[in-house]
Structure 1
Amino acid sequence: MPTERWVPTTAHWGAYQATADADGGVRVRPHPDDPAPSPLLGNVPGVARHDTRVMRPAIRRGWLTGGPGPSSQRARDEFVEVDWDTALDLVAAQLDRVRVESGNEAIFGGSYGWGSAGRFHHAQSQLHRFLNTIGGYTSSRNNYSFGTSQVLLPHVVGSSAAVLGYADSWATVREHTDLIVAFGGLPTKNLSVSPGGVTRHTSAAAAADPGVAVASISPLTADVPAGGRWYSIEPGTDVAMQLALAQVLLAEDLHDTDFLSRCCTGFDVFAGYLRGETDGVPKTPEWAAPICGIAAGDIRELARRMASGRTLVTVTWSLQRARGGEQPVWAGIALAAMLGQIGLPGGGFGHGYGSMADVGDEGPVLWLPTLPQGPNPVSTFIPVARIADMLLNPGAQYDYNGQRLAYPDIRLVHWAGGNPFHHHQDLNRLRRAFARPETVVVHETHWTATARHADVVLPATTTLEREDLGAGRRDTHLTAMHRVLDPVGEARDDFSILSGLAERLGARQRFTEGRSARGWLEHLYDKWRDQLRAQGHELPDFDTFWADGELRLPAMPENPPLVRFREDPEGDPLHTPSGRIELHSAKVESFGYEDCPGHPVWLPQERRGPLHLIANQPPTRLHGQGDVGAVSRESKVASREPITLHPDDAAARGITEGSVVRVFNDRGSCLAGARISDRVRPGVAVLPTGAWFDPQPDPQHPGQELCAHGNPNVLTEDVPASRLSQGCAGQRTHVDVEPFTGPLPEVTAHTPPPLHRA
């Protein structure tokens, strides 16, 4: 009997080991040093050879026979499989045509980089490097996860990295913190995941039982850690509660006047707002209570408790993915500043505890091997969540962070390593937007909705089918990602695909620099090793590292910006206009944005449906990745994504456990399987994102379509968080739910589209 060959690899949900079976299957086991391995590993074995794998290059028939042009037949047409040379010739010809006729600005490099945990085979970096070698492309800026904060934080604390990159570890929190006040809670389901992977899930283990008192402010008890107190808040009203807490600190003289004077600017303006001097409304607990559903006495008691010891105020990323998403982040910073503990261990402000595994992780803040993308000769960009606006409204003007910009006229979309039909909002609108370009090219491993909306689909390898270097932010190890499986079908890695295109466009040498994929791994590793050696760290050569399978990353001295600033505000100022924490920003105020004025404010939102829908991240997969895996499939109800309703809301609608329901609003509808639980606040429904989009005719409403599989982004509104950030606002919306009584459509998202051979 041959010895099993287990090899190391990693994924966004963590490092693990894998082995291939004789029949081509794969088995996995956690990294031996991982204290809390991700349950998402259970999705891995069934994904690589699933029926939805893209096996060969495929061309949409209408595009193949009729040529490039706008088309409403995307995702409705059949595909014709062709050989690689034909596919690459066609794509290269279109790239060349568009850049000659319309300029490189007319090419949108749409990758959004969750395709691989590897440092080299990072689809976004590969695609952008390639497009830069042929003259550039229109790019996107910021991200869906915390894009609103990425724009706001530089105005308030000088940089987003000051908060996002240097969060105190959970060990520090346990040692120094008396109370965590968690707006958005501490949802441990998110702590499996980190971009690039995480070897030891210390955050997941710690957040489940922090060993510290926690005030969890969330409409969901799943966001409350062991021993935490649940403040069941009305969704979208966190800012009202934050302002009321701040008002108590101010009114009862519990705020740190020395810190506010020494390290902040604009507190007088913010304090005037709290007192009601600007709008006649003091932001008292009695004012906030009917808005947020938390008793005034509980708010007042919590404020006093916060001022009595070391308190960490943390805001999940989910709260900034909404209209006015800047406000809970800015108000959270203001609240922490009033306590005077920013820059102290275990105190101050945190952003993302419970949102991602690397926030609070114990690994070093360290530069990692990265594929250089080169300069982009095209300066045009869009905020990442505005893709549908761009495609539907070429030439239209919009505001962004003090600038007045215009959308380019995109003729060709080239997408790799992402699935916008998972993460974007108002998918029916996105379908209309994807009908406008002349050509859509997609690299995909599986027949996702994005692949089905393409004209040319190029089959890409999965992580298991290639070699790479793997590590995430604040990871403890660099992993030698060995290949586990041979490429399935005719799949190629993105580097190989783009090398073929570069050769046809006369740019192969510039793109590859004469290196193979393995040559690039060695080059990136050696360059990184040399940089660390210059800092006094000795690491093994590449061959030793590869044979060992991993190396422990060296400890690096941390020097967080906010710690340095607290110690010496004059000598080490922040990169803000004042050099201090800006509780009022004259610069932001000068932009004149009514949806993001110059200091934290309460911006009430209109209620547009009887139920408040939370479209959060699923516990059973990473976004849409792994939806065909066992863990994700086992979570389905009647083959649909589960929606959780409070018993009172279910009873009022005649909905029973396990039944299929229709979830709807004025943007769209979907089918979901009902789960009934008192672990959600009454009036709240929870439908996680990531079920593969499956648009079909609605049997109960002729002429309309619904998502038969339960993707909530047919319901979410495609609007920006504000004119400042233009960030994603897809976390929450309003809906109603009813029993579905029509003929039940079969879910088709997990079967490939009609395919024919040329």
Structure 2
Amino acid sequence: MNRDGRAPAGRALKILPGGCPLDCPDACSWQVEVADGVAVGLRGTPEHPYTRGTLCVKVNQYLEHTRAPDRLLHPLRRTGRKGEGRFERIGWDEALDEIAGRLTEVIDRYGGQAVWPYQGTGNLGYLQGLQGRAGSRLWNTLGASRHDMTICSIAGLVGTGYTLGTSRGIDPEDLRHSRLILLWGCNTLTTSHHLWKVLSQAQRSGAYVVAIDHVLTRTARLADEHVPLNPGTDAALALGLLNVVLSLGAEDRTYLAERTVGWPEFRARIEQFTPRRTAEICGLPVETVERLGRRLAVTRPTGMKAAQGIQRHAGGGMALRTLAALPGVTGDWKLPGGGLAYSTDGYFGGDREALFRDDLLPGPVRSLSMTRIGEALTTVDDPPVKALFVYGANPATAVGGQSQVRAGLLREDLFTVVMEHFRTDTVDYADIVLPATMQTEHTDLLDGYGHMYITWNEPAVAPPGECLSTTETFRRLAARLGLTDPALFDSDEDLARALLSGGHPSLDGIDLDRLRREGYARLNYPSPYVPFADGFPTPSGKLEFVSATAAADGYDPLTGYTPPQEAADPELARRLPLVLISSAPHFFLNTTFANRQSLVRRAGTPFVELHPDDAAARGLAEGALVRIFNDRGDFTARLQVSDAVRRGVARTTKGWWSKLTGNRAGVNATVDERDADMGGGAVFHDNRVEVSAAE
């Protein structure tokens, strides 16, 4: 091929449609250029209205990633102790025989619920990944425990649901119509860079962009204003801004009277959050709260974008519940470009139940939380988890309570299968390792949780070695288990047609033939789109500041502010005065790409960043090797000293593999294995630590 990655002259070139499956709201549409059966080029689809021909710095190297020399190409069986990562090559027949035999033994002795299919966000596709709960038909037939996906956005999804009746908000593309844009914990240039094109367009049209973030991120540097609040205090800031709106008499009284429930009670709560009290909670100057509150009061429409990080603490669900309530006070929900964008996932009206086939369950089964895997593997005994099947996930690195997680994975009586592309930290604990296809090698159908498009992924090249797709692996395993239900053997095309055939209005005119022909389609919603122009899908049909549903679920019926748990403990704050934030890295995506050396070189080494005052108080200098610790665990990193972080905050990035950095543990060794306030969400950012020189 030529140096530019294109086929030399005279070689036939095919262009096949596809899409990025990774855990990113942008869900890019791409095109793969293939010559003589080899993928020679990858680019964002030029005409796609959101992708606009560009991919991120990570995915630009995806083709090279698929051809990496350390890729898993054959099934493996463990030969050493768990955690050592010593394996021998075996064939697929031998691997499937052993898996089927061990699963049968476990189910016969302990029942199907002793099997835990542990699926992560490594692939978000509807056929091969998490959105479609890939493999659920097999697991339902076996009566396996239900995997409760709690690591990403669940607290915020539940919280917005209490206010709006749904987690759906505005189309992020409609932020181009906003005149004030509040980015709540959203470093879009790193985590969803296509959105920045929308925001910069709005800026050029006169919009004022505010980055509300405890770190001066890449995005905050390009915003018109940066508000560096204390971690976990976003809901308090929202209430304080509304307090200023009320003091100016700028609330939308007609909208409040006609379209909301519980306004008198919510108004009383807002009145408790004076600018001075809000400033104390958030660690901000009073003038900042008052100035931004005045801007909010007079600027219509105001659009907001919240990312997942702000709900990963003990008050995370309430934080998103309150952000969703804010445009109800100002009336922005009635305006194009007004309201909150958190996740667009619910707009795709595919028939997910036809894909999942929960009717195949033999009876009720328990749910096991993704973020409580350490606890489940070491304490649950009714029945105990005896078989763990991990795919699209790297729990040894990516989940809180890392010490307990790894202790559970070390159990010799736990039969563990890992389906993977590379030898991650989790692979080292497997009994059987299965080589999986990557996105250019299998069929998939994708949507995005940050836009309104669905994408068809056509396999562009043959899988290398003996790699199999997730769907094919489960078809073969079902056969080896002696199962006969036809639903277990549906082809990928059959699965896609079942998903698209539910008759939902969002899919009018969109079928598999069209997707295969065109590569992508916008869901059938107008643009711009005012989602609640005809009412809210709540029990009352209105925006609910007071929610009877929340009360019935055991929560405060009234929207408000719930502080992070560890911030509210003064003794803990004295012993461990820093709040550790593990933000998204620019060159990895969760733990994906953390073994790609070209990206690792650009990412540097694992680091922790402190404000100059915090570093000086500990006698620490730039570049020092430091220990970050609390009562749960510790890890080491190189110190960066910068006023890009506020005092009292330590910042690092997630995603590093311990085995590749020489660390015996990573950041999640310090994170508590407990739930956020709603939905069982994770608490990665509700984490107090201290930092000292490493020995």
> Which position in structure 2 is the counterpart of 1:574?
537
Alpha-carbon contact 1:43-1:629 (below 8 Å) kept? no
> Which position in structure 1 is the counterpart of 2:299?
309
Secondary structure at 2:119's aligned position in 1?
coil
**In the TM superposition, what is the alpha-carbon distance from 1:451 to its structure 2 partner?**
1.5
Of the three residues 446, 464, 470, the one matched with 1:488 is 464
Alpha-carbon contact 2:548-2:557 (below 8 Å) kept? no
* 1:641 maps to 2:606: yes
* 1:618 maps to 2:619: no
Aligned-partner Cα distance in 2 for 1:268–1:292: 25
**In the TM superposition, what is the alpha-carbon distance from 1:326 to its structure 2 partner?**
1.8
Q: Which amino acid aligns with 1:609?
A: L
**In the TM superposition, what is the alpha-carbon distance from 1:658 to its structure 2 partner?**
4.7
> Which position in structure 1 is the counterpart of 2:199?
207
> Which position in structure 2 is the counterpart of 1:746?
none
> Which position in structure 2 is the counterpart of 1:182?
183
Q: Which amino acid aligns with 1:427?
A: Q
**In the TM superposition, what is the alpha-carbon distance from 1:720 to its structure 2 partner?**
0.8
> Which position in structure 1 is the counterpart of 2:683?
729
Aligned-partner Cα distance in 2 for 1:381–1:254: 46
Alpha-carbon contact 1:233-1:292 (below 8 Å) kept? yes
How many correspondences in the alignment? 658
Label 1:288 to 1:18 Cα distance change in 2 as closer, same or farther (>3 A): same
Aligned-partner Cα distance in 2 for 1:247–1:57: 61
Alpha-carbon contact 1:312-1:346 (below 8 Å) kept? yes
> 5+ residue gaps in structure 1?
63-72, 193-200, 276-281, 353-357, 396-406, 566-572, 698-704, 742-758
Matches for 1:258-269 after TM superposition, within 5 Å: 258-269=254-265
**In the TM superposition, what is the alpha-carbon distance from 1:147 to its structure 2 partner?**
0.6
* 1:140 maps to 2:147: yes
**In the TM superposition, what is the alpha-carbon distance from 1:61 to its structure 2 partner?**
3.0
> Which position in structure 1 is the counterpart of 2:356?
373
CA displacement 1:664-716 (0-9 Å, x = unmatched) = 2222222334444332223323211111233999xxxxxxx833xxx321222
Label 1:727 to 1:208 Cα distance change in 2 as closer, same or farther (>3 A): same
* 1:677 maps to 2:654: no
**In the TM superposition, what is the alpha-carbon distance from 1:499 to its structure 2 partner?**
2.1
Secondary structure at 2:687's aligned position in 1?
strand
Of the three residues 89, 96, 99, the one matched with 2:97 is 89
Of the three residues 150, 153, 157, the one matched with 1:150 is 157
Label 1:523 to 1:408 Cα distance change in 2 as closer, same or farther (>3 A): closer
* 1:294 maps to 2:284: yes
* 1:382 maps to 2:372: no
> Which position in structure 2 is the counterpart of 1:244?
240
Secondary structure at 2:587's aligned position in 1?
coil
* 1:432 maps to 2:428: no
Alpha-carbon contact 1:186-1:207 (below 8 Å) kept? no
Give the alignment's TM-score, normalised by structure 2: 0.85
* 1:715 maps to 2:670: yes
> Which position in structure 2 is the counterpart of 1:49?
67
Aligned-partner Cα distance in 2 for 1:627–1:695: 8
Give the alignment's TM-score, normalised by structure 1: 0.78
Label 1:155 to 1:522 Cα distance change in 2 as closer, same or farther (>3 A): closer
Label 1:207 to 1:432 Cα distance change in 2 as closer, same or farther (>3 A): farther
* 1:321 maps to 2:324: no
Deviates more, 1:301-310 or 1:688-697: 688-697
**In the TM superposition, what is the alpha-carbon distance from 1:228 to its structure 2 partner?**
1.6
Label 1:443 to 1:299 Cα distance change in 2 as closer, same or farther (>3 A): same
Alpha-carbon contact 1:471-1:479 (below 8 Å) kept? no
**In the TM superposition, what is the alpha-carbon distance from 1:530 to its structure 2 partner?**
9.8
Matches for 1:456-467 after TM superposition, within 5 Å: 456-467=432-443
Aligned-partner Cα distance in 1 for 2:425–2:651: 22
> Which position in structure 1 is the counterpart of 2:30?
16
Aligned-partner Cα distance in 2 for 1:461–1:391: 28
Label 1:142 to 1:494 Cα distance change in 2 as closer, same or farther (>3 A): closer
Aligned-partner Cα distance in 1 for 2:223–2:419: 46
Aligned-partner Cα distance in 2 for 1:224–1:715: 27
Secondary structure at 1:76's aligned position in 2?
coil
Label 1:27 to 1:242 Cα distance change in 2 as closer, same or farther (>3 A): same
Aligned-partner Cα distance in 2 for 1:431–1:178: 49
CA displacement 1:409-439 (0-9 Å, x = unmatched) = 3221122222223431121121123345631
> Which position in structure 1 is the counterpart of 2:137?
129
Label 1:44 to 1:77 Cα distance change in 2 as closer, same or farther (>3 A): closer
Percent identity between matched residues is 24
Q: Which amino acid aligns with 1:524?
A: A
Alpha-carbon contact 1:669-1:706 (below 8 Å) kept? no
> Which position in structure 2 is the counterpart of 1:392?
378
CA displacement 1:379-398 (0-9 Å, x = unmatched) = 32134423333333326xxx
Label 1:314 to 1:488 Cα distance change in 2 as closer, same or farther (>3 A): closer
> Which position in structure 2 is the counterpart of 1:700?
none
Of the three residues 550, 564, 569, the one matched with 2:519 is 550
Label 1:685 to 1:246 Cα distance change in 2 as closer, same or farther (>3 A): same
* 1:521 maps to 2:528: no
Label 1:511 to 1:440 Cα distance change in 2 as closer, same or farther (>3 A): farther
Matches for 1:436-447 after TM superposition, within 5 Å: 436=411, 438-447=414-423
Q: Which amino acid aligns with 1:616?
A: S
* 1:98 maps to 2:63: no
CA displacement 1:215-241 (0-9 Å, x = unmatched) = 222112214263421112122222332
Q: Over aligned residues, Cα RMSD in angstroms?
A: 3.5
Aligned-partner Cα distance in 1 for 2:233–2:507: 47
**In the TM superposition, what is the alpha-carbon distance from 1:554 to its structure 2 partner?**
6.5
Matches for 1:654-665 after TM superposition, within 5 Å: 655-665=620-630
Aligned-partner Cα distance in 2 for 1:373–1:258: 44
> 5+ residue gaps in structure 2?
1-7
Label 1:659 to 1:635 Cα distance change in 2 as closer, same or farther (>3 A): farther
**In the TM superposition, what is the alpha-carbon distance from 1:526 to its structure 2 partner?**
8.9
CA displacement 1:42-100 (0-9 Å, x = unmatched) = 332442233432232222236xxxxxxxxxx5313632332222211111012112222
